[in-house]
Amino acid sequence: MELCLEYGYTSLNKFGEELCGDKVECCVSGEYTTVVLADGLGSGVKANILSTLTSKILCTMVSNNIGIEDCLETIIQSLPVCKERGVAYSTFSVIHLNNQGKGYLFEFDNPQAIYYDRGKCMNFIRKEMDICGKKVYQSDLSLDEGDIVLVMSDGTIHAGIGMTLNFGWQRTEIMEHLDRTIRPYMSARCVACILASACNDLYLDKPGDDTTVAAVKFRKRLDVNIMVGPPVDNEQDNFYVARFMEGEGKKVVCGGTSSQIVARYLNKPLKTSFDFPDKDVPPIGFIDGIDLTTEGVLTLRKLLELSEKYISVHDLTPKSFSKTDGASMLANVLFEEASHVQFFVGRSINVAHQGLPIDTSMKMKLVEKLADNLKIMGKKVTLNYD
Domain boundaries, the chain: 3-219, 223-385
Q: pLDDT (tens digit, 9 = 90+) per residue, 214-249?
A: 999 999 999 999 999 888 888 888 999 999 999 899
CA distance 63 to 30: 9
CATH architecture of 3-219: 4-Layer Sandwich (3.60)
pLDDT of 134 reads 85
Sheet strand arrangement including 211-220: 3-12, 211-220, 148-152, 114-117, 120-122
pLDDT of 166 reads 63
pLDDT of 287 reads 96
283-289 average pLDDT score: 95
In sequence order, what are the residues at sequence separation of 6 or more whose Cβ sits closer than 8 angstroms to the Cβ of residue 51? 20, 21, 22, 23, 38, 39, 40, 90
pLDDT of 164 reads 67
Q: What is the pTM of this model?
A: 0.91
- For the chain, the C-alpha Rg in angstroms (whole number) is 23
Q: pLDDT (tens digit, 9 = 90+) per residue, 173-208?
A: 999 999 999 999 999 999 999 999 999 999 999 999
Q: Directed axis angle between helix 297-311 and helix 360-376, to 10°? A: 30
Alpha-carbon torsion angle 386, 304, 269, 355, nearest 10: -70
265-279 average pLDDT score: 91
pLDDT of 362 reads 81
Q: Which amino acid is at 10?
A: T
Number of C-beta neighbours around residue 327 at 10 A: 27
Q: Directed axis angle between helix 237-245 and helix 256-266, to 10°? A: 80
76-95 average pLDDT score: 78
The lowest-confidence range among 6-10, 53-57, 67-71 is: 67-71
